[in-house]
Chains A and B, each alone.
Chain A
Amino acid sequence: DVKVTQSSRYLVKRTGEKVFLECVQDMDHENMFWYRQDPGLGLRLIYFSYDVKMKEKGDIPEGYSVSREKKERFSLILESASTNQTSMYLCASSPREGSNEQFFGPGTRLTVL
């Protein structure tokens, strides 16, 4: 079974802190994605990556950056956390470009105080 894991289920940080959210997939997928999920807004794409060291901006990249140094790991970085970044963050992976099924991790609920 495909497994996507995220480093934390719950995280509480203070405004201005640098925050790292880690995601690891164990199925050798090329594509990885970071979304944020907010009530009524569904899932909005922050960043995605098609390959190691490759990254592309999604719909809402402002205030975020990403790192993909290894194929199995995709990190989301909040350079200076703000209260409006309080949200559920979901990581996903898929096996190839154009593949429809994205496999999601369980999510990290981040609260910024």
Chain B
Amino acid sequence: GQQLNQSPQSMFIQEGEDVSMNCTSSSIFNTWLWYKQDPGEGPVLLIALYKAGELTSNGRLTAQFGITRKDSFLNISASIPSDVGIYFCAGRKNAGNMLTFGGGTRLMVKP
């Protein structure tokens, strides 16, 4: 099955820095989701995007649904140590269709 191209694969940043990651696809998705997986746990939904061009925030997290519907971006401002984990993008083409996940971005934050 198709996979979303997520980059970067990993990031090692200093506490307080901003973080950007993105997800691209060769085909259109109608819903974009961003999940976070804490070490030793399952992924948890952070943000859901339903409309092209939509910009949605959740605390220090901001995500955008690309205007072409083929990409999405996640930004984290002023990173803190508990931001450590793996971030996954996921796309859905139509209602009832399964989610397609990106390869994940592993974020490490140095205090």
Contacts and interface: CB of A to CB of B under 8 A. Distances in A.
Given A4-B42, A90-B42, A40 B104 contact: yes
Contacts, number: 58
A58 B1 contact: yes
Contact of A42 (B40, B45, B102): B102
Contacts of B55: none
The range of chain A's interface size is 20 to 34
Contact of A105 (B9, B31, B42, B101): B42
Contacts of A98: 95-96
A106 B42 contact: yes
A100 B44 CA distance: 12
Contact of B33 (A40, A44, A100, A105): A100
A74 interface: no
B95 A42 contact: no
Given A105-B42, A106-B41, A43 B88 contact: yes
B108 interface: no
A97 B45 contact: no
The range of chain B's interface size is 20 to 34
A62 interface: no
B13 interface: no
Contact of B99 (A40, A90, A97, A102): A102
A92 B41 CA distance: 12
B48 interface: yes
A29 to B, nearest CB: 14
Interface string A80-111: 00000000001010000110111011110000
B98 to A, nearest CB: 6
Contacts of B99: 45, 102
B6 interface: yes
A44 B98 CA distance: 11
Interface of B: 1, 3-4, 6, 9, 31, 33, 40-45, 48, 88, 90, 92, 95-96, 98-99, 101-104
Interface of A: 4, 33, 35, 40-45, 48, 58-60, 90, 92, 97-98, 100-102, 104-107
